Amino acid sequence: MCFSKLKSLHYKKLFIYGAFTTIIILTLIGTVVDAYRGSVDAYFDFLYALLSFIAFKLTMRNEVDRGGIALFWISAISEFIFIFINGADFDLIFAILIPIIAFISMKLRQIIINLTIFYTILIAILIYFYINYPNHFILHNTKYLLAYIYAHLFMVAYGFFYYFAIDESVKRLENLNRQNTLLLQEVHHRVKNNLNIISSILGLQSFKIEDKSAKNAILGSRQRIESMATLHELLYKNRATQNISIKIFTQKLVNNIIKSESTKDSIDINLNIIDINVSISTLIQYGIMINELVTNSLKYANKGNKRCKIDINFFKENNYYILNYCDNAKFIDLKKMENGFGFNLIKLSIKYFNGKYTIDTNSGLCYKIVLSEM
């Protein structure tokens, strides 16, 4: 499992993964050490590591609770075998580990049931070994025995404090976070609907305007609003709160622009966009550039009944992000275009990214926009 996936795990599942992995690795190291010394314990170490691995694979497929229970009893078996049978004093660590595993990885009902069973078995084993093994290094050594009992009592007391204080606080924060996420999704949904209403009003208003330049200005503003609505639609559908894929956004935005064109059947689009997640503010500025570029292409490249061809490439090179945009428009008045309202919006967006641009008109209209920030 890669590090990025580990970071996305719930803290309880991450704890169980870490504990199982640690037990398996340390036991395998113990297997190698005991095998080198010629000790028979190497077989027990290996079987214990194998049992831990099997339990880990079987229990962690679906539920965290089952993984926690498996880890709990794997550790309990280790304590029963190594301390009372093998007499290994280093395994006193399990007196601390076992209650902590229960309180971190289980629900309250499971904690009570499993700890009750465990301590019932533990007391029975203590009594048995106390009677039958008068020289046992723990039971007949007051210092060891008190340390062992205190360790269990302390960790059980701390475990209940952890569960009712820390774990309950985490649960409340998680519930609050889920509620905030749902509220934010609802905000994106309502913003998208409101922007669509404004877009529809502008569309209706354009039917009443006869002046061509005024009508084009209103329709242009309508398309810009729709590009913002596209962003909020993606944020709502993908349940994203902060970042979203720039590749998905570009595809959705370009498709929406083309759908609004009556000549959409005569448009060829080629998209090659890097798949990265970026913030909402970044997408807004990026969306402004794409909207203006595509709208201008559809406006000028379709002149003369030509088939409009658009190539959009967005990639990372060294420490810069580069947007190469080309169409097959034969634009003559480049100076007029650069003084237009739409291109001024593009320049403002480029400035937002601390970028720069160049224009090539040798074969259509091509932009190379270099952005130093994303």
Q: Is 50 part of any domain?
A: yes
- Flag whether pLDDT at 27 surpasses 60: yes
Provide the domain count of the chain.
2
Could you read off the pLDDT of 188-223 as tens digits, one per residue? 677 777 777 877 777 777 777 777 777 777 777 777
Distance from C-alpha of 272 to C-alpha of 235, rounded to nearest angstrom: 22
Residues in the chain: 374
Helix (H) or strand (E) holding 311: strand 308-317
Same domain, 120 and 247: no
Q: Is 322 part of any domain?
A: yes
**Are 261 and 241 in contact, with CB atoms under 8 Å apart?**
no
Which pLDDT score is estimated for 114?
Answer: 86
Q: Is 26 part of any domain?
A: yes
Same domain, 127 and 249: no
Distance, CA of 15 to chain centre: 18
Whether this prediction's pTM lies above 0.75 is answered by no
- Burial (CB count within 10 angstroms: exposed 0-12, middle 13-18, buried 19+), residue 283: buried
Same domain, 129 and 253: no
Using pLDDT thresholds of 50, 70 and 90, give the confidence band for residue 1.
Answer: very low
Same domain, 259 and 374: yes
Find the DSSP H helices in 208-333.
212-237, 246-259, 280-300
Examine the fold and report which residue of 120, 140, 160 is the final residue of a domain before the chain moves on.
Answer: 140
* Three-class secondary structure of residue 10 per DSSP: coil
Q: What is the mean pLDDT of the chain?
A: 76
Distance from C-alpha of 84 to C-alpha of 227, rounded to nearest angstrom: 70
Q: Is 174 part of any domain?
A: no
- Flag whether pLDDT at 125 surpasses 70: yes
Q: To 10 degrees, what angle do helices 341-352 and 212-237 make?
A: 30
Distance from C-alpha of 371 to C-alpha of 356, rounded to nearest angstrom: 7
Higher pLDDT, 122 or 41: 122
Which residue type is seen at 135? N
Distance from C-alpha of 297 to C-alpha of 303, rounded to nearest angstrom: 10
Same domain, 133 and 248: no
Distance from C-alpha of 112 to C-alpha of 72, rounded to nearest angstrom: 13
Integer CA distances (angstroms), 12 to 2, 16, 135, 171, 180, in order: 18, 6, 41, 12, 22
- Flag whether pLDDT at 3 surpasses 50: no
Could you read off the pLDDT of 286-331 as tens digits, one per residue? 888 888 888 888 777 655 556 788 899 999 888 889 999 988 877 5
Q: Is 292 part of any domain?
A: yes
DSSP 100-129: HHHHHHS-HHHHHHHHHHHHHHHHHHHHHH
Could you read off the pLDDT of 245-271 as tens digits, one per residue? 888 888 888 887 887 665 556 778 889
Examine the fold and report which residue of 81, 105, 140 is the final residue of a domain before the chain moves on.
Answer: 140
Distance from C-alpha of 50 to C-alpha of 65, rounded to nearest angstrom: 21
Total Cβ atoms within 10 A of residue 59:
20
Distance from C-alpha of 114 to C-alpha of 244, rounded to nearest angstrom: 43
Same domain, 21 and 133: yes
**Are 39 and 198 in contact, with CB atoms under 8 Å apart?**
no
Could you read off the pLDDT of 169-188 as tens digits, one per residue? 777 777 777 777 777 677 76
Q: Is 195 part of any domain?
A: no
Least confident of 227-231, 310-314, 324-328, 369-373: 227-231
Which residue type is seen at 69? I
| 10-23 mean pLDDT | 72
Could you read off the pLDDT of 62-96 as tens digits, one per residue? 555 677 777 778 777 777 766 665 555 545 565 56
CATH number (domain holding residue 262): 3.30.565.10
C-alpha gyration radius of the chain: 33
Q: Is 161 part of any domain?
A: no
Q: Is 192 part of any domain?
A: no
Examine the fold and report which residue of 102, 120, 140 is the final residue of a domain before the chain moves on.
Answer: 140
Distance from C-alpha of 353 to C-alpha of 320, rounded to nearest angstrom: 10
Print the domain residue range for 81. Answer: 11-140
